[in-house]
Chain A
Amino acid sequence: MIIYGVALLSACLVAGMLIGEGLGIVLGVEANVGGVGIAMLFLVLACNSERFTALTEGAAGSGVKFWSAMYIPIVVAMAAQQNVAAAVDGGVLAITAGVAAVAVSFALVPALSKIGTGAEPAEDREESAP
């Protein structure tokens, strides 16, 4: 039954959001703390657990796969309803941030590729924000 998979997906999202919301209250911040990430973690755990095979395989699985395949279309719709007109002024910031992130990440590939093959990388990666 397709709905079983969709229900599993929904349950993961609701559970993750509740935990995220709860964490926000506990930590005293007005935010949903990592809700989506927690929900993804739940779904990965469910996929990898024997107990949930009835909800993740066969027709039930296609219920989740459908929504996974709808990801890009939904992102396109998300892009189309952004407040771009108000954000245009910050365009240079957006481009700079994107370009800089790619440049630094490219540069790190050789260093991290060495992990596990002998040589230790020298760069520190856990430095805190700016």
Chain B
Amino acid sequence: MMDMLETVFIRNNLVVAFAVVGVTIWLSYLLANKLTAGRIHGSAIAIAVGLLAAWYGGVATGGSRGVADFALLSGIGLMGGGMMRDFAIVATAFGAQLSELKKAGLAGVISIFAGVIVSFVVGAAVAVAFGYTDPTEITTIGAGAVTYIVGPVTGEAIGASDAMITLSVAAGLVKSILVMIGTPLVARFIGLNNPQSAMVFGGLMGTTSGVAAGLAATDPKLVPYGAMTATFYTGVGCLLGPSILFFIVDWMF
């Protein structure tokens, strides 16, 4: 019986991964709605659950690939591996209209670049403050502070260790959750009450799920404006992270 289960699961590992991730996301969205009244987006909870599961996987198996080290869940490694990840990120650029950028105007475009650069600099500075001296490691943490996807994309492109890449995902997740929770609280103080500031906000924060959830809790009418600029943020991050920003850090350290 166990043998049969194992055979079927291992032989169909990618399909098993789809099912497992699907159930995880369903549960996470349920939790998000029931426990946080939608304040924390289901996706953030699902990613946090993923990290927790990976921790358990690492401790239980002694391996380095999280839950993917359980034979029955090896498909998670394939589904969440670099190839599928990059494929899906690039797909998110689909439908981005360049005319939207024009609508966002100069302030919107500047905010996207400023957002990526500022988050990167702050993340990198924190890494330096914590005593990291390797340019690859500093860059990966800086990129993680941009978003949880720019971190691993950058880290892998420049050859960072898996522990650093994991930290960059965690940093991005913290950022995303904080934007979700913090936006309605600070909205009044940062003048977040009109389309223009919402666009700037989307470009500066960039974490799409964080911006969407945070603005929805502030004023649902602002969501499309924030989303308009946030859409381009990850792309700019993936472009600048493993290139100019890495070179600058590499040159400095």
A contact set with B: CB distance below 8 Å: 9-10, 12-13, 16-17, 20, 23, 27, 29-41, 43-44, 47-48, 56, 61, 64-68, 70-88, 90-102, 104-110, 112-117, 125-130
- In the bound complex, do residue A84 and residue B239 qualify as a contact, i.e. CB atoms below 8 Å apart? no
Inside 8 A of A67's CB, which chain B residues have their CB?
A: 87-88, 91
- In the bound complex, do residue A80 and residue B80 qualify as a contact, i.e. CB atoms below 8 Å apart? yes
User: 8 additional contacts, CB 8 Å, given A13-B90, A82-B165, A105-B204?
Assistant: A37-B242, A47-B97, A73-B22, A77-B76, A79-B169, A86-B162, A105-B119, A130-B125
Q: From DSSP, what is the main secondary structure of chain B's interface residues?
A: helix
Inside 8 A of B58's CB, which chain A residues have their CB?
A: 83-86
B contact set with A: CB distance below 8 Å: 17-18, 21-22, 24-25, 43, 46-55, 57-59, 64-68, 73, 76-77, 79-81, 84-98, 105-107, 110-111, 113-115, 117-128, 130, 132, 138, 141-142, 144-146, 148-149, 152-153, 157-159, 162-175, 178-179, 182, 186, 190-192, 196-197, 200-201, 203-205, 209, 234-243, 245-250, 252
Give the Cβ gap from A98 to chain B, nearest Cβ, in Å.
Answer: 3
Q: Which of B77, B106, B179 contacts A81 (CB 8 A)?
A: B77
Q: A33-B242, A87-B163 are in contact. Are A40 and B235 (CB under 8 A)?
A: yes
Inside 8 A of B76's CB, which chain A residues have their CB?
A: 77, 80-81
Complexed CA–CA distance, A42 and B147 (Å): 21
- In the bound complex, do residue A83 and residue B93 qualify as a contact, i.e. CB atoms below 8 Å apart? no
Complexed CA–CA distance, A6 and B54 (Å): 30
Complexed CA–CA distance, A130 and B16 (Å): 44
Inside 8 A of A64's CB, which chain B residues have their CB?
A: 91, 94
Q: Which of A32, A39, A94, A115 contacts B171 (CB 8 A)?
A: A94
Complexed CA–CA distance, A33 and B178 (Å): 30
Q: Which of A71, A86, A127, A130 contacts B163 (CB 8 A)?
A: A86
